[in-house]
Chain A
Amino acid sequence: GAVVSQHPSWVICKSGTSVKIECRSLDFQATTMFWYRQFPKQSLMLMATSNEGSKATYEQGVEKDKFLINHASLTLSTLTVTSAHPEDSSFYICSAGPRGNNEKLFFGSGTQLSVL
């Protein structure tokens, strides 16, 4: 079946550094991908919609200059957490579905970010 690959699975970084997370659709093309954030014991909160070849659409309250999204191809979206701080420590998950198929959606395995 269709798979969404997300890397890295976990990352530990120092405060002030930037971290890049990749989300790849392995056997389908995705014009849009979605980035979620999940704090411990809380639900997934949609951060932004990644659009291939154009700017991402951010949800209210999400800083676009802090969470940089690039969707340069139909199979890859990246989320860069810039100048990370401890409060950015969270579980980040991407999702995507085959273009033209509105009933199938696949999630990446998630990235646990810990900022020291």
Chain B
Amino acid sequence: QKEVEQNSGPLSVPEGAIASLNCTYSDRGSQSFFWYRQYSGKSPELIMFIYSNGDKEDGRFTAQLNKASQYVSLLIRDSQPSDSATYLCAVPTGGFQKLVFGTGTRLLVSP
């Protein structure tokens, strides 16, 4: 079983700061990676996916992938209190739609 590791947090940042969330994975053969955001009591919502080394930007979010070091990170610029949630890193296993999730990192953005 593939393993995905995240620091559970909470990670606390002030409003307007950059939040940096990290994820490591065990299977060197993993090709794609997903970042989901989950509010308490709600289902996950996709923020970004990345499968090429380097950076991928989408609005305030930047995903960074380093396959040699087996980590993927998510940067949130200009953090807002509404970004306070748990961020889940996920890796497909046995098919693109079947995901293994990390433990999630709880982000708290203070006004």
Which one of A49, A105, A107 has the highest number of Cβ atoms from chain B below 10 Å of its Cβ? A105
Interface string of A38-49 (1 = CB under 8 A from B): 000011111001
Q: How large is the interface on B (under 10, 10 to 19, 20 to 34, 35 or more residues)?
A: 10 to 19
> Is A75's CB within 8 Å of the partner chain B?
no
Q: Are B43 and A46 in contact, with the CB atoms below 8 A?
A: no
Tell me how many residues of A have a C-beta within 8 Å of chain B. 24
Q: Are A44 and B44 in contact, with the CB atoms below 8 A?
A: yes
Expressed in whole angstroms, the Cα–Cα distance for A6 and B88 within the complex equals: 21
Nearest CB of chain B from residue A82's CB, rounded to whole Å: 24
Instruction: Give the residue of A43, A60, A93, A97 whose beta carbon is less than 8 angstroms from that of B43.
Output: A93
Q: Are A108 and B101 in contact, with the CB atoms below 8 A?
A: no
Residues in chain B near residue A54, CB distance under 8 A = none
Which of B59-67, B77-85, B91-99 sits within the interface? Answer: B91-99
Residues in chain B near residue A46, CB distance under 8 A = 98-101
Tell me whether chain A's interface is mostly helix, strand or loop, or mixed: strand
Within 8 A of B (CB), among A42-98: 42-46, 49, 60, 91, 93, 95-97
Chain B: which residue is nearest A6 at the CB level? B43
Residues in chain B near residue A60, CB distance under 8 A = 1
Interface residues, chain A, CB within 8 Å of chain B?
A: 6, 32, 34, 36, 42-46, 49, 60, 91, 93, 95-97, 102-103, 105, 107-110, 112
Q: What are 12 inter-chain pairs, A to B, with CB distance below 8 A?
A: A32-B97, A43-B88, A44-B44, A44-B88, A46-B100, A49-B98, A93-B43, A103-B49, A105-B97, A109-B43, A110-B42, A112-B41
Given A44-B88, A107-B45, A109-B43; 18 other pairs, CB 8 A cutoff: A6-B43, A32-B97, A34-B97, A43-B101, A43-B103, A43-B104, A44-B99, A46-B99, A46-B100, A93-B44, A95-B97, A102-B95, A102-B97, A103-B49, A103-B96, A105-B46, A110-B42, A112-B41
